[in-house]
Amino acid sequence: MQESAKSKNSKIVLALDFPFEAPENRGEILSNAQGILKAVYPYICAVKINHHLSLPLGTFDGVKHLVEQIRGQGLLAIMDAKVNDIGNTNQVIAEYYYAAGFDALIANPFVGWDEGLKPLFDVSKRLGRGVILLCYMSHKGAVEGYGQNIIDPETGGATPQYMSFAKKALKWGADGVVVGATVPDKIREVKKVLGQNVDIYSPGVGVQGGAAETAVEAGSNYLIVGREIISASDPALAAQRLRDSARGV
């Protein structure tokens, strides 16, 4: 990621989160996604794909073609699977998405380590791929889960759930964490724990109210941006402006 960001001079991760289309329009969905990628790739460093495309296009059909295009444009491909199951299932999920060409997966630390995320980390390290953990999401309801207070098993004191996840990201050797651009105060807190050891990916710029400059100033390494780019009348110009805003901090 660092090499890609440096070569592209960009902190922007494009989220190809398209709105719902009738399944019979799969060809149009794929064509639109390919067109967006062709227009914006000079201004981004990676692409994140979610169920918005994997469900209608199929992992080893349309999505694999997109991943090949992404990799061919010198970018990294991240699968936002939010992996959140028992260990055996998590391992199989990882094997399939990595077989489709993805460079990294996003996973949910709520399931824990033993018989939870450990098998996913094992597969990822064996194949030289990355794991990004959710730490604090960008939507308002995130406070109900990621923002709740828990009892720290080591100290016995109260601590925010997201701070516990930040510490686990360090302990487990994660390659990144997700902290919403909508909560710059949380970015600062998590950055103090992670330092330069684990990068912060921040979604929520634009439509959800987060600002690129504010997130970067707070400590974000990469900005995940979807609707602000793909819904723009000129996606390339939108991506370029966001890149320049983040780069100018």
Q: Any idea where the domains of the chain sit in the sequence?
A: 2-247
Q: Is the pLDDT of residue 249 over 60?
A: no
Q: Which residues pair with 179 in a beta bridge?
A: 136
CA distance 194 to 133: 13
Using the 8-state DSSP alphabet, how is residue 14 labeled?
Answer: E
CA distance 75 to 67: 9
Q: Is the pLDDT of residue 209 over 90?
A: no
Q: What is the mean pLDDT of residues 137-150?
A: 95
CATH of domain 2-247: 3.20.20.70
CA distance 131 to 93: 13
Cα–chain center distance at 30:
21
Confidence of residue 182 (pLDDT cuts 50, 70, 90): very high
pLDDT tens digits for range 84-94: 999 999 999 99
N residues, the chain: 249
Helices (H), the chain: 2-8, 26-40, 51-57, 63-72, 87-99, 118-127, 161-172, 184-194, 212-218, 227-230, 235-247
CA distance 225 to 205: 6
pLDDT tens digits for range 4-61: 999 999 999 999 999 999 989 999 999 999 999 999 999 999 999 999 999 999 999 9
Instruction: Look up residue 178 and give its two tokens.
Output: 């997700």
Token match 């730490």: residue?
Answer: 135
pLDDT recorded at residue 72: 95
Give catalytic residue positions: 82
Cα–chain center distance at 203:
7
pLDDT recorded at residue 154: 80
Token match 């504010």: residue?
Answer: 214
CA distance 3 to 130: 14
E strand or H helix that includes residue 125: helix 118-127
